[in-house]
Homo-oligomer: A and B are copies of this chain.
Amino acid sequence: MSQRQRDALDALLREAPLDFEGDLHALRAQFEEMMAATPLSDDVVRTDGVLGGVPVVTLDVPGTAPDAAVLYLHGGAYTIGSAAASVGLASMVARQAGARAASVDYRLAPEHPFPAAVEDAVAAYRGLLASGLSPERIAFVGESAGGGLTVATLVALKREELPQPSSAAVFSPWVDLTLSGASISEKAAVDPALKASGIRLRAGDYVAGGDPADGLASPLFADLTGLPPLLIQAGSHEILLDDATRLAAHAAAADVAVTLEVTPGVPHVFQGFAGTLDEADEALASAGRFIRTHLAAAVA
């Protein structure tokens, strides 16, 4: 754990913060550029395709199991980001998990408000199942809004009577669009990446006049009974810390197998800084072990 690495990352994020209150088109362009800074490894094969009618980017890492997949849901406050911009982190997850990754280009708000993103994630999962993959050989992974969308999608699968995947891992999940966690204010000073005013604005774009506490928009308020084993990772320097800890408590109360890992002194979705931040490498390795354990358990 390097204090110097953490300080450098903090300074970097504070220099060019993502201003979610700014113009959405400029914001989308800035985010794509920022994410492109995480290059795709030379050995990863990227294929653009469609799953269940939804555009996806598939990432194949040499040596991974051909019959196992990570359904990956990117972040961006439901309003920015894309499968293409997420390939860096998604492919690192795929490598650690020993599986192909399919990153879903779910529709974004405000053009396509809730529940479009949930519908697209469910459709892509249906597509994966239709391709012949067993649910026991699929894991869900999502970051930030994609982490909330991951949990919402698992809840939606119950309603549609579809089988759950083998496990789900979420990085800094945003599961409460009402922003009711104490960390929203208590961690504001130490969070170099997110501001409550910005994500509140984008939550409004997503729910578009609907109830932000709806269980499929804010799965912290959904019945989580029957969900597969859940790994929740967060940094302690983020306003969404309480989304992670409350999700862990809520899922545990519902008899879900829960692992919560909080890394001190690191920001929102710090896993994206693997290679330059030791804590990111450790968190990704832990997520990979978690996913592989449950994929393997399904085989046995």
Residues of A within 8 A of B (CB): 182-183, 186-187, 234, 236-237, 241-242, 244-246, 248-249, 251-253, 255-265
Contact = CB atoms under 8 A, between A and B. Distances in A.
A242 B236 contact: no
B245 A249 contact: yes
B248 A186 contact: no
Given A245-B249, A249-B246, A249-B249, A259 B256 contact: no
A233 B258 CA distance: 10
B259 A252 contact: no
Contacts of A263: 257
User: 3 shortest A-B CB distances, which residue pairs?
Assistant: A245-B249, A252-B262, A260-B260
A183 B242 CA distance: 19
B264 A248 contact: no
A280 to B, nearest CB: 14
B253 A258 contact: no
6 contacts: A187-B253, A236-B252, A237-B255, A245-B249, A245-B252, A252-B262
The A contact surface, by secondary structure, is: mixed
B262 A236 contact: no
A237 B265 CA distance: 33
Contacts of A186: 253
Q: Which of A186, A256, A260 has the most CB of B within 10 A?
A: A260
Nearest to A244: B252
A187 B254 CA distance: 10
Contacts of A260: 248, 258-261
Nearest to A249: B245
Contact of A241 (B182, B234, B252): B252
A221 to B, nearest CB: 15
A237 B260 CA distance: 18
Contacts of A256: 236, 262, 264
Contacts of A241: 252-253
A255 B236 contact: yes
Contacts of A262: 248, 251-252, 256-259
B265 A255 contact: yes
Contacts of A253: 182-183, 186-187, 236, 241-242, 245
A245 B237 CA distance: 19
A98 to B, nearest CB: 19
A246 B249 CA distance: 8
A183 to B, nearest CB: 7
B261 A258 contact: yes
Given A186-B253, A246-B249, A248-B260, 14 more contacts: A183-B253, A187-B253, A241-B252, A244-B252, A245-B253, A248-B262, A249-B249, A255-B264, A256-B264, A257-B262, A257-B263, A258-B260, A259-B260, A260-B261
